Amino acid sequence: MNIKQQQLFGPMAHVREIMKAEILEAVLPLVSKASRYLGNEINAIHKDLSKVELRFALAFPDVYEVGMSHLGFQLLYHLLNSQPHIACERFFTPWVDMEALLRENRIPLSSVESQTPLSQFHIIGFSLQYELGYSNILKMLALANIPVLAEERNDCYPLIIAGGPCTYNPEPLAAFFDAFVIGEGEEVIFELCNTYLEWKKTNAPESTLLDRLAAIDGIYVPTHFQVDYHADGTVKNIINVKQAGKKVVKRYVTNLDAAFSCTTPIVPYMQIIHDRISLEIARGCTRGCRFCMAGMIYRPVRERSLHNILELAETTLGSTGYEELSLTSLSAGDFTAIDTLLKKLMKQHQKNRTAISLPSLRAETLTRSLMEEIKQVRKTGFTIAPEAGTQRLRTVINKNLTEDEIMHTVAEVFAAGWQLIKLYFMIGLPTETQDDIEGIVALATKIRAIGKKIRHSNQLNVSVSTFVPKPHTPFQWTAQLLPDEIREKQLFLMRHLKRPGIRLKWHNPEMSILEGVFACGDRRLSNVLIKAHQLGAGFDGWSEHFKPSVWDEAFAECMVDKYFYLRARATDELLPWEHICCGVSVDFLKAEYQKALTGETTDDCRVTGCKNCGVCGIQQPTPNYPSECTNPPVKSSFDSYPPDSPKTQIYRYRCHFSKSGSARFLSHLELSRCIIRALRRACMPLNYTQGYHPHPRVIFYQALPVGIESECEFFDMELVQHISPNIIVAHVNKHLPSGITMLSVEEIFLKKLFAPDIMTYQKYRARIPLPECSAAPSISAIDDALAAFLKSEDFFVKTTKNGSTVSINIRPLVSNLSLKDNDTIEITVNNTSGAMLRIGDILGEILELDDKQRKLLHITKLTA
């Protein structure tokens, strides 16, 4: 066993426990949105890390709510954990407040499940979804005390790999990773893990591991390739020094039905970007939009069978309690049996008020029957992506969507009751002229006029992004707009589209430039990335954290001209990603580029036959287009209390529950959402409100501030079927997350739900965590402060109410106050005053605690 193997497999449970306690007590009370870091969400997997052969860290270089919204991230997590000998845990970039606290407290970046440091894992796999997340990779490695450069990591460190769409041009990151997975991770990941485990049993050096990994199809080891440059900076040679001439060809799943599906996705407490079930109905798109990287790299099209989708929907809704099911694919309307699928899903899940959404519906695929199905449950905004303002430019980009089709869809959508249409356009597309920019204004204006005619309040959101040439697309040789050109076009649109009923959104030009540089960049960018990281870059995809001056300084110090990467390239220039093969041939891309310039379109190969893009030959078997199944078996997880029984009577219950441990960091909204989803998982036959946005009739009492535990919380709920209170308690408790316990339920006989602030006096216990509180008051000082308060007749404190500072006398609010143990106070407050302060602030004022000390008070509500 080499040094790396000895260190990685040593005992570490003790360290982990300390870490967990430290984070919970000293750090979480001080950060915003602490629910990002709890790790005990429903369906999260906790394994004993000392008992598995392989510890895999799945890392996402952005904040939790972004990472958790990625379907592939969840899929790999559950796929890896499906193997008893592997434990996979999640890592995200800590938000800026948490990052500062980790640094201050010298806590290394740790997993959300067990707070195990990143460096304690055998393999770290980063998910690379967009170029503006690159600086966060370096931030995460640095926070884990892992050298960012692969050549500086010896055998003591984990193997660091990456997957995701950005790996189709991995060159800007080549210096940081040991290997990249090119293609669909689920196809390769076990070959990679097994190779690692076999190597681990030997005493061989890490170079042997890399040799073995490089032998796996779809794995790219950057050190096996040597890159040389011409004097003008263009790439001269990319040489595979181990296997001359061999390129790295992507791997992909040939049959989605047979591939692993995640039916128990983690249900975050906080509202994430896509807070719903994402069910992938198809992968790939052959429409052939010439700017679209996803349309090239995810080919060929593969569809799931109806049978499989219906079964997955049923099981996943049952395991999560989500109220929305999103059918995802690059173009959901192109799914062969989309009408039938929607009808069946609606029929199957309408009873539970589950909304079915199609986030990627192309306007030309929208039929009236499809619209009828979608609008049955909920109508959020409807999205249409013309991408370009004129027919000429839409032909150039092969977006085969005519103005007539757009207008027809818009009229149908507004007439069907939607009040918001979102339009997506791009500026800077190849061959664009001023006419095309004016075309965006004209098209948006026409659409707004149609909407206004149907309903005056109808709204239009126009989102304009900047075209960024992407590798492996027919436009990979084209130039990107420069910042001044972007601004000029944006200004024109602002001048002409800022009018009532239209909301214009645009992208930060400097962010688009950086995205373009890294999308089409080469290995020389690694120095720039390191420099920018040292200068404080991070969260570059977040406009409030993006610092263009930092990047300018980094480019200047490294003497790298960023505009070199944004220029047009000759089609015979060697591109930095030439050795990475996505299956679509370069000849096909060149032919498509030429057709764009001559204004010719290319049909979808699913409609008019194969266009020889090359992808179907790279792996067997060829893509499957399953036909409709007629009799899908439906296994209901909602059988226990069928909610579709006639609503002859409504039954009302008052539920008493407690909130403790890490659950105290849930906000009121997170808590109520998490309880409602638990009720859905527990198959409670909830009564719903009527209308397009049906809500379960569940009403929570007072909002408990974040960070406070409670033994006496309440909510009322309505059921459409009578269930004995004891059964409700037993059943619901099985579905509640750790820290939330239903204590009792009583049936109430009220005409409607009743959730006033019925509690007049509330009793709290507050523990002052003296060791964690810098300059915390001594016991005698606490005693004196309490005595002085009790003796006083008035105790005025300043607080803000409706934006102005007011003075409140808190003395009459406190009816009991005593020091119990050395560090524990009990206090009873009167809740009838409209000028209620938070309990932490009342104690803080009495004890003269600063803001940090107030947050660190460990408070429990004892009685209501």
Residue (295 or 516) nearer to ligand SF4, CB:
295
Among 605, 676, 736, 859, binds ligand SF4 (CB under 6 A): 605
Whole-number minimum distance, CB 367 to ligand SF4, in Å? 24
Q: Which residue type does 494 have? A: M
Stretch that binds ligand SF4, among 336-344, 362-370, 604-612, 739-747 (CB under 6 A): 604-612
Residue (460 or 605) nearer to ligand SF4, CB:
605
3-state secondary structure (DSSP) of residue 765: strand
CA distances in angstroms from 742 to 318, 453, 528, 727, 839, listed in the order given:
20, 52, 54, 11, 24
- Token pair, residue 587, equals 């000849």
| Interface positions, 280-299, toward ligand SF4 (CB under 6 A) | 286, 299
Strand 420-427 and strand 459-466: pairing? parallel
Whole-number minimum distance, CB 298 to ligand SF4, in Å? 10
- Residue 690 — left, alpha, or beta (φ > 0 → left; ψ -120 to 50 → alpha)? beta
Residue 611 as a binder of ligand SF4 (CB under 6 A): the answer is yes
Sign of CA dihedral 542, 547, 548, 550: negative
* DSSP conformation letters of 698-719: EEE-SPPPTT-EEEEEEEEEEE
Give the integer Cα–Cα distance in Å for 10 and 665: 32
> What burial class does residue 151 get, using C-beta atoms within 10 Å of its C-beta: 0-12 exposed, 13-18 middle, 19+ buried?
exposed
CA nearest 661: which of 726, 717, 716, 736? Answer: 736
Whole-number minimum distance, CB 617 to ligand SF4, in Å? 7
Whole-number minimum distance, CB 838 to ligand SF4, in Å? 60
First-last CA distance in the chain:
59
Q: How many residues bind ligand SF4 (CB under 6 A)?
A: 11
Residue 807, beta-bridge partner list: 798
| Interface positions, 615-674, toward ligand SF4 (CB under 6 A) | 615-616
Whole-number minimum distance, CB 14 to ligand SF4, in Å? 54
Whole-number minimum distance, CB 164 to ligand SF4, in Å? 21
Residue (284 or 707) nearer to ligand SF4, CB:
284
Counting every residue written for the chain, the total comes to: 864
Give the integer Cα–Cα distance in Å for 826 and 256: 59
Residue 293-332 contact track with ligand SF4, rule CB under 6 A, x = bound? ------xx--------------------------------
- Could you identify the residue written with the tokens 């992506």? 385
Stretch that binds ligand SF4, among 385-393, 440-448, 535-543, 611-619 (CB under 6 A): 611-619
Residue (12 or 613) nearer to ligand SF4, CB:
613
Whole-number minimum distance, CB 601 to ligand SF4, in Å? 14
Give the integer Cα–Cα distance in Å for 849 and 842: 10
Residue (615 or 849) nearer to ligand SF4, CB:
615
Whole-number minimum distance, CB 335 to ligand SF4, in Å? 16
- Token pair, residue 243, equals 């296997």
Give the integer Cα–Cα distance in Å for 816 and 843: 12
Stretch that binds ligand SF4, among 342-350, 609-617, 725-733, 760-768 (CB under 6 A): 609-617
> What burial class does residue 616 get, using C-beta atoms within 10 Å of its C-beta: 0-12 exposed, 13-18 middle, 19+ buried?
middle
Residue (369 or 612) nearer to ligand SF4, CB:
612
Whole-number minimum distance, CB 623 to ligand SF4, in Å? 7
Stretch that binds ligand SF4, among 146-154, 391-399, 403-411, 603-611 (CB under 6 A): 603-611
Give the integer Cα–Cα distance in Å for 520 and 469: 8
Residue 240-279 contact track with ligand SF4, rule CB under 6 A, x = bound? ----------------------------------------
Residue (615 or 663) nearer to ligand SF4, CB:
615
Whole-number minimum distance, CB 709 to ligand SF4, in Å? 56
Residues 698, 685: contact at Cβ < 8 Å? Answer: no
Residue (286 or 619) nearer to ligand SF4, CB:
286
- Could you identify the residue written with the tokens 């659950």? 663
Residue (295 or 685) nearer to ligand SF4, CB:
295
Give the integer Cα–Cα distance in Å for 18 and 16: 5
Residue (454 or 616) nearer to ligand SF4, CB:
616
Residue (536 or 617) nearer to ligand SF4, CB:
617
Strand 235-240 and strand 225-229: pairing? antiparallel
Our separate counts of H helices and E strands in the chain read: 26, 29
DSSP collapsed to 3 states, 158-221: CEEEEECHHHHCCHHHCCCCCEEECECHHHHHHHHHHHHHHHHCCCCCHHHHHHHHHCCCCEEC
* DSSP conformation letters of 592-616: HHHHHHTT-----HHHH-----SGG
Among 613, 663, 817, 849, binds ligand SF4 (CB under 6 A): 613
Stretch that binds ligand SF4, among 132-140, 157-165, 420-428, 606-614 (CB under 6 A): 606-614
| Interface positions, 72-131, toward ligand SF4 (CB under 6 A) | none
Residue 586 as a binder of ligand SF4 (CB under 6 A): the answer is no
Whole-number minimum distance, CB 293 to ligand SF4, in Å? 15
Give the integer Cα–Cα distance in Å for 150 and 744: 56
Stretch that binds ligand SF4, among 80-88, 352-360, 446-454, 608-616 (CB under 6 A): 608-616
Give the integer Cα–Cα distance in Å for 508 and 466: 9
Whole-number minimum distance, CB 33 to ligand SF4, in Å? 42
Give the integer Cα–Cα distance in Å for 15 and 23: 12
Residue (156 or 616) nearer to ligand SF4, CB:
616
Among 100, 273, 494, 610, binds ligand SF4 (CB under 6 A): 610
Bond from prior residue into 300 cis (ω within 30 degrees of 0): yes
Stretch that binds ligand SF4, among 137-145, 222-230, 605-613, 830-838 (CB under 6 A): 605-613
Residue (611 or 855) nearer to ligand SF4, CB:
611
Residue (141 or 613) nearer to ligand SF4, CB:
613
Strand 219-220 and strand 225-229: pairing? unpaired
Stretch that binds ligand SF4, among 227-235, 371-379, 610-618, 673-681 (CB under 6 A): 610-618
Residue (612 or 832) nearer to ligand SF4, CB:
612
Residue (114 or 286) nearer to ligand SF4, CB:
286
> Which residues of this protein are in contact with ligand SF4, per CB under 6 A?
286, 299-300, 605, 610-616
